[in-house]
Amino acid sequence: MMLENSESKFYVGTSNCLTGVSEFFLLNNLDKKEFKTVLSASSSIPLIAPVVSYNGKLLLDGGLTDSIPFEYALNHGNKRAVVVLTQPEGYLKSPLKFTALLKWYYRKLPKVYEMLLNRAERYNASVRQLEELEKEGLVYVIRPKEKLVVSRLENNPLKTAKVYNAAMDLARKEYSDLQKWLEQ
């Protein structure tokens, strides 16, 4: 594995379907099979991808319980954090629609339904907290200037390449300011 010799710790977040809370996993020391399983769980989107079983836990995408996991970083020894968002400034999530269908679909995993039902409220609270921490200089936020013109399920290579190139342009523009912030 590439991460086992890294000085940096690489964590991924998941959502526990039985408890309804976030679970973070350090990927550095996992074997190849565990690495793939945990990484798969961290991006397993409800209704689209299956629930992933790992060490007796049922896991889904970490965004259900902690869409912007800056608090985890700050609560685990980091004094500051760099946060990369996929939505422009001012974006807030809308409450979920089709709740009856979701309640039926996840009837055997009621915590998943609760996570989905409360996701917008948690996300929006995280955005507000992130804005405060940004003003205090505790986080550096990189976000697109306008809404991305691609869905999370996009499979058109031209569209994904366009978004990728826009993200790389943004990273180049932010690099100097980010370096200054990191040196403070």
SS3 133: helix
pLDDT recorded at residue 98: 85
pLDDT digits (tens, 9 = 90+) for 85-100: 999 999 999 998 889 9
58 close to 17: Cβ distance less than 8 angstroms: yes
pLDDT recorded at residue 172: 96
SS3 100: helix
> Per-residue confidence at 1, pLDDT binned at 50, 70, 90?
low
pLDDT score of 27 more than 80: yes
Q: What is the pTM of this model?
A: 0.90
Query: Which token pair is 144?
Result: 């697109």
Q: CA quadruple 7, 164, 116, 88: dihedral positive or negative?
A: positive
**Average pLDDT score over residue span 159-184:** 94
Query: Which token pair is 90?
Result: 């001012």
Q: How far apart are CA 148 and CA 46, in angstroms?
A: 21
pLDDT digits (tens, 9 = 90+) for 48-70: 999 999 999 999 999 999 999 99
Query: Which token pair is 77?
Result: 């020894």
Percent of the chain with pLDDT over 90: 89
Q: How far apart are the first and last CA of the chain?
A: 33
